[in-house]
Amino acid sequence: MQRRSGNSATCRKGVLKVTTSCFAAFLLVILASGYARAQARDPVRMGILPVLDTLPLQVAIHEGFFERKGIQVELVSFNSALERDAAMQGGQLQGYFGDLLNTLLLVRNGIPMQVLTVSYASRPGRRMFALVGRPGLDAPSAAAVGSATVGLSNATIMEFLLDALQERAQIPAGTWKRIEVKKIPLRLQMLLSGQLDLAVLPEPLVTLAESKGSRVYLTDGDLDLPLTVVCLRRDLLESEPSFGAKFLAAYEEAVSALAEHPERYRELMSRTCRIPPSLQATFPMPAFPAPGLPDPARVDQVQSWMVLRGMIPERVPYGNLVWRSPQ
């Protein structure tokens, strides 16, 4: 009897040891899977438009620069700014690409996001927007056009640019009859068919219009303005303090890659930035600035115009608008 009792005790100890080992292994599996899920967070969704200014973002995704920095970013392309803004307001996006004016509107209306970097800024010899004349318009300069119709979209960066271009060219306000044509492809079509005398267009449609006989009168090249910016939601930047710095490091790599090997990304540009087929082989590869915040004076210039137009009641404080890496 004593021998059987000893065997039973030994057996119970063995079972307990196996059970404890199994439980420990099970606990490790649970902890490991939980850690893996925490590491594999959903990608940060960034709303963009299929325009040239987003090429560095496309390159960063294409080359895996974001992943190498340990962050996941997904680009969500929208056909219109209205759709993108609705998604941002609905909380479906954590990141945003857009023009400075529209960004200020969203921030002023309560969207908690901050500018990380300028995406594209006007510079001499590098036009992104232009005032273009219809084919057959023989005026030698914008000042010589006289009474004419000009197509644009009101309360946008294009209206701001038209005001700035007219002021620089010393063309009095009211010289041209402004006609709102929100859809840019339709605006181009109306210009080429002679239904508009002038139109404010972005690249690559400026070059396309030029190839079809239009004359470029004024460009944004000398205005020295931050036209488009990249933003992230404030709660993301605050909850993950290193995310902004990692994002900018990946973005900077993309800008450098474009500067060093621009032709390598021609096909990517054609596919993601809506380059017309006739221009895909010849359209100049754009140059992008290194990551940096917009000049406060230029931001104030845009905000002053918006206040004057009644688009915002007061300026957004610069410190609230931009993000700076915590030291």
Is 261 within a domain? yes
Structural domains counted in the chain:
3
Tell me, yes or no, whether 177 lies in a domain.
yes
Spatial CA neighbour of 231 closest among 96, 46, 324: 96
Q: How confident is the model at residue 327 (pLDDT cuts 50, 70, 90)?
A: low
Chain mean pLDDT for the chain: 90
pLDDT of 298 above 90: yes
Together in a domain, 230 and 115: yes
| pLDDT tens figures, 89-142 | 999 999 999 999 999 999 999 999 999 999 999 988 889 999 999 999 999 999
Q: Does residue 39 fall inside a structural domain?
A: no
Domain presence at residue 37: no
pLDDT at 30: 38
Tens digits of per-residue pLDDT, 56-76?
999 999 999 999 999 999 999
Domain that holds residue 3: 1-32
11 pLDDT band, cuts 50/70/90, is very low
The pLDDT, as a whole number, for residue 245 is 98
From 198, 222, 246, give the residue that closes a domain: 222
* pLDDT at residue 31, rounded to an integer: 36
CATH code assigned at 215: 3.40.190.10
Residue 197 lies inside a defined structural domain of this protein? yes
User: Both 231 and 317 in a single domain?
Assistant: yes
Is 12 a residue whose pLDDT tops 60?
Answer: no
Q: What is the average pLDDT across 261-271?
A: 98
- pLDDT on residue 16: 40
pLDDT of residue 326: 84
Same domain, 56 and 188: no
Judge if 211 and 142 occupy the same domain: yes
One domain, residues 237 and 258: yes
- pLDDT for position 222: 86
Q: In this predicted structure, what is the pLDDT of residue 1? A: 44
